[in-house]
Structure 1
Amino acid sequence: MSQATFLNRQALHLRPDPARVIVRPFKPATEPRDLNPTDKMRANHIVERVLALDQEAVAAQLADVLDNFKGRHRNLLERFEARADEMEDAFATHGVFSKKQRQLVGAYFLNEYSFEASALFNPSIVAHPDQSGAPKGGVRFILSLRAIGEGHVSSLTFRTGTIAADGSLAVDPTARLASIPRICHRISGPDGERVELIFKPEEDLTERVIFPVTESQSNGIEDARFVEFSDGDRKTYYATYTAYSGRAIRSELIETSDFTSFRLAPLRGAAARNKGMALFPRKIGGQYAMIARQDNENLYLIYSDDLHTWDGGQAILKPQFPWEFVQIGNCGSPIELDEGWLLLTHGVGPVRKYSIGAALLDKHDPSKVLARSREPLLRPEPSEREGYVPNVVYTCGGMRHNNQIILPYAVSDTFSNFATIEISELINAMKC
């Protein structure tokens, strides 16, 4: 199967930009109750040193900090105050603080973090909820990407763009600033924390960064697979992702309707103990459906009544061809076509080379595999083999536009690109 007949690589390389930074809590400046005795003592020493300054020195130091970081962040003084509020327990033992003292203390307990300094990869794509300004016959889109910075910590960032009627793509300029959301609600439960995050409306979508905020995510929010989910007249965007604590992984779920407020919650059940889950874009037979890989080798079809609990399942795809002998997994949510569900897959072959393939599932009973690609649709080209993890092409989800599949994909866990696929030619090739 020759990829040249139906797949066209674009020249839209999205590369990591170390100049994009957020401010995040600086350890040992996490919540005092989370610190060990030594760190609590150190945090108190910092507060005491600030308090020892006279008011004129405090004002001068605060002005110097604001001048030094001018233009690098939105509402930086407000962020200092918010950090001081989080450090309320540390203030309690030190009497009354002036507003400027609180702000200066807040500054000492933050640090800049270049969230995409190392990599910008594993994208997924969905139609934008706001289609105003879309080209005639085209569509506006949102691209989610996994960003990696110092310490290999993964976060979630976004880009926007347009697809023209003929399938040509354009990516909008990225905002110069970057912002993290405010935590509106945090609820602890037996399965972990549920949180609700909200960004300010004036913050551009490309400015918004979802950084780890719970213990289960502390080392990364990885590989979000966004899908536009339809339930009657209601449309919601969901994304499964891998939460990594530094010791363990599990699957969790993001929910949003506007990409301004987001709800993050853990998933339950045996299937959620692994990574690589992808939700179908609508219910099937009255149930939610998911493609998952709970045995690290095969792909399973799983159903659920409540969206958050995933057990059991039926193996529907197993490694069959040499390019996928090590393992197979999904590359995003199934895409509904007239012919059935198009499931993009990844296969791992010799020398741990990752390639992208596809399978066609029955529309009414997705456990039935109608066809699958004998050869990869996309494999690392010589120019795409070098990077943080060599010999890898990977995607977390494509979308249909007219007679094409728009496929964003990552190159060697370093940067991202796009390809377009002619649907009819792909279907014919898989049936060969």
Structure 2
Amino acid sequence: MRLRRHEVTLLPESARVIIRPFIPSDIHRMTTIIGRALALTEDEVARELSAVRQEFDARHFDVESLLTAHYQKVRQHVFTQRPLSHERQLLIGALFSGEYALESAALFNPSIVPHPDQSGVSTGGLRFIMSLRATGEGHISSIEFRSGCIAADGGIVLDPISRFVTVPEIVPNPRYRKKRFIIKLHEMGFGDTHAAAVMTPLAENFTRSELNQSVSSVRRQTQPTTGDLVRTLECIQWLADSNYELRFSDKLTMSERIIFPVSPNEANGIEDARFVRFTDDDGSVMYYATYTAYNGRAILPQFIETEDFLHFRILTLNGSAVQNKGMALFPRRIGGRYAMLSRQDDENLLLMFSDSPHHWSDPQVILRPAEMWECVKIGNCGSPIETEAGWLVITHGVGPMRKYCIGAALLDLDDPTRVIGRLREPLLAPEGVEREGYVPNVVYSCGSMLHGRELILPYAVSDRASAITSLSLDDLLVALRK
């Protein structure tokens, strides 16, 4: 099968940095640092702040607002009653800030979807958005974006990549759905009387401030304070922190947007986002993604919703099957129900159905390793793609020497538990220079899409960089049905 390898390579770029809080956990160290800043004269403050701004202003869009935000994070430890000048506050903020190179280690595991805005695209062309996993110092992963166009002849051009990267605003008072929140508390083993006391007064749709008020009320009214109460209230706050909303300015280009870990359960990384353009039965469109949240000890599948790639909702998933990695949502309902690929057993490809995109249980195996190149385990490389012949599933297989290859399978449109065909040989395998990287001998993808009768397949090269290949859908379908 002939693959068209495009001259598009996405390499990690260490110069793309954000400013992060850099705050010691030791309060004594924190107050010592603040004390040194308080001991400076105003002239010394002005001189030191000027040096900081001269060195860093050109590397970021709005250094001042970031330093102000970081000052606010340590403000409670400023041990003086005298008012501080704005310049001194900024300098203190700088003392608790540091640059982070988002993709200094890797830029990999891409997925691709049609852009929600196709205005101005030439006839036969298609504008797209690509998500990528960026990994930097400490192996912390985040989601980056690129945009570009596919021409009528299949040529691919990426939009210019900005030197700047910006984290979004965290929406300060997000809304929650009571039923979904309670279900998750029960799953986590916190459906006790303390949780009921917090949740009962709340409306079916409540805000974070309303939840905080209810938590405070229960804490005041429950005496004595027990360990069970403390653990339940901490769990409620943790769950609220794990469901949040983000908002980017519409002035930012796609490559200037970064989704960096926000909640405690993803503190060590947002991994392998699989985006899909989902069309509901009423014709409405929503972009969904699953990703793996990693806190340094455990992983947890999470869910993203967006209509425009400006406003994002980050949600926990519910149900007994919400575990392990590699969940991928089908792009429409099947028989009125949502469908999801998964791999709960870390070996086989499984399928689930649900009445809600947020609740998953009862997975069933549909594909097991069959060939030596997938002998260790098999999984998906993103959401299934609808074709007239069936659901096209791009897969990955792990074989001898932990070599990752990309394959494909075809599922029945009406009953995707029925496998129509699968490739016996890999569609794509690591060869030549693509074998070398952060994790050698790996090709991997988190999502592909169709452009006419061509399959556009972005893929990662040995967990370091990304490339794009394309191939004839018709040739692939013939091979799958042999």
TM-score by length of 1: 0.94
Question: Which amino acid is 1:297 matched to?
Answer: E
Deviation of the 1:400 alpha carbon? 0.8
Q: Secondary structure at the match of 2:463?
A: coil
Q: What residue is the counterpart of 2:55 in the other structure?
A: 68
Q: What residue is the counterpart of 2:296 in the other structure?
A: 246
Q: What residue is the counterpart of 2:443 in the other structure?
A: 393
Q: What residue is the counterpart of 2:7 in the other structure?
A: 11
CA distance in 1, matches of 2:49, 2:350: 56
Determine if the alignment matches structure 1 residue 412 to structure 2 residue 462. yes
Deviation of the 1:122 alpha carbon? 0.3
Deviation of the 1:190 alpha carbon? 4.5
Q: What residue is the counterpart of 2:196 in the other structure?
A: none
Determine if the alignment matches structure 1 residue 175 to structure 2 residue 171. no
Q: What residue is the counterpart of 2:479 in the other structure?
A: 429
Q: Which structure's CA Rg is the greater one?
A: 2
Mapped contact 1:192–1:266 kept (Cα < 8 A): no
User: Comparing 43-52 with 406-415, which one deviates more in the overlay?
Assistant: 43-52
Counterparts of residues 256-275 of structure 1 (less than 5 Å) = 256-275=306-325
Deviation of the 1:131 alpha carbon? 1.2
Counterparts of residues 4-403 of structure 1 (less than 5 Å) = 4=2, 7-28=3-24, 35=25, 39-91=26-78, 95-185=82-172, 188=237, 190=239, 193-231=242-280, 232-403=282-453
Question: Which amino acid is 1:142 matched to?
Answer: I
Mapped contact 1:191–1:266 kept (Cα < 8 A): no
CA distance in 2, matches of 1:386, 1:315: 33
Question: Which amino acid is 1:8 matched to?
Answer: R
The C-alpha deviation readout for 1:389-419, integer Å capped at 9, x for no partner, is 1110000000011001100001100110001
Deviation of the 1:87 alpha carbon? 2.6
Q: Secondary structure at the match of 1:229?
A: strand
CA distance in 1, matches of 2:332, 2:348: 23
Q: Secondary structure at the match of 1:175?
A: coil
Deviation of the 1:181 alpha carbon? 1.2
Q: Secondary structure at the match of 2:78?
A: helix
Mapped contact 2:128–2:148 kept (Cα < 8 A): yes
Percent identity of paired positions between Structure 1 and Structure 2: 52
Deviation of the 1:166 alpha carbon? 2.0
Mapped contact 1:325–1:347 kept (Cα < 8 A): yes
Q: Secondary structure at the match of 2:397?
A: strand
Q: 1:54 to 1:189 in 2, by over 3 A?
A: closer
Q: Secondary structure at the match of 1:79?
A: helix
CA distance in 1, matches of 2:335, 2:89: 57
CA distance in 1, matches of 2:469, 2:374: 21
CA distance in 2, matches of 1:279, 1:93: 54
Mapped contact 1:301–1:316 kept (Cα < 8 A): yes
CA distance in 2, matches of 1:282, 1:11: 32
Deviation of the 1:192 alpha carbon? 6.0
The C-alpha deviation readout for 1:227-272, integer Å capped at 9, x for no partner, is 0111123211111000011100010011111111211112122322
CA distance in 2, matches of 1:428, 1:174: 38
Question: Which amino acid is 1:16 matched to?
Answer: P
Q: Secondary structure at the match of 1:427?
A: helix
CA distance in 2, matches of 1:427, 1:49: 68
Question: Which amino acid is 1:271 matched to?
Answer: A
Q: Secondary structure at the match of 1:62?
A: helix
Deviation of the 1:309 alpha carbon? 1.6
User: Comparing 47-56 with 217-226, which one deviates more in the overlay?
Assistant: 47-56
Mapped contact 2:374–2:399 kept (Cα < 8 A): yes
Mapped contact 1:135–1:162 kept (Cα < 8 A): no
Deviation of the 1:98 alpha carbon? 1.9
Q: What residue is the counterpart of 2:190 in the other structure?
A: none
Q: Secondary structure at the match of 2:10?
A: coil
Deviation of the 1:58 alpha carbon? 1.3
Deviation of the 1:92 alpha carbon? 6.6
Deviation of the 1:91 alpha carbon? 3.3
Question: Which amino acid is 2:447 matched to?
Answer: G
Q: Secondary structure at the match of 2:33?
A: helix
Q: Which has the higher helix share?
A: 2
The C-alpha deviation readout for 1:114-156, integer Å capped at 9, x for no partner, is 1101111000000111112322211100010001111111111
CA distance in 2, matches of 1:115, 1:138: 31
Mapped contact 2:238–2:264 kept (Cα < 8 A): no
Mapped contact 2:408–2:422 kept (Cα < 8 A): yes
Q: Secondary structure at the match of 1:263?
A: strand
Q: Secondary structure at the match of 1:295?
A: coil
User: Comparing 264-273 with 239-248, which one deviates more in the overlay?
Assistant: 264-273
CA distance in 1, matches of 2:385, 2:7: 24
Q: Which runs of 5+ in 1 are unaligned?
A: 29-34
Q: Secondary structure at the match of 2:470?
A: strand
Question: Which amino acid is 1:393 matched to?
Answer: V
Deviation of the 1:371 alpha carbon? 0.8
Deviation of the 1:95 alpha carbon? 4.5
Q: 1:424 to 1:164 in 2, by over 3 A?
A: same
Q: Secondary structure at the match of 1:71?
A: helix
Mapped contact 2:131–2:143 kept (Cα < 8 A): yes
Number of aligned pairs? Answer: 419
CA distance in 2, matches of 1:125, 1:92: 50
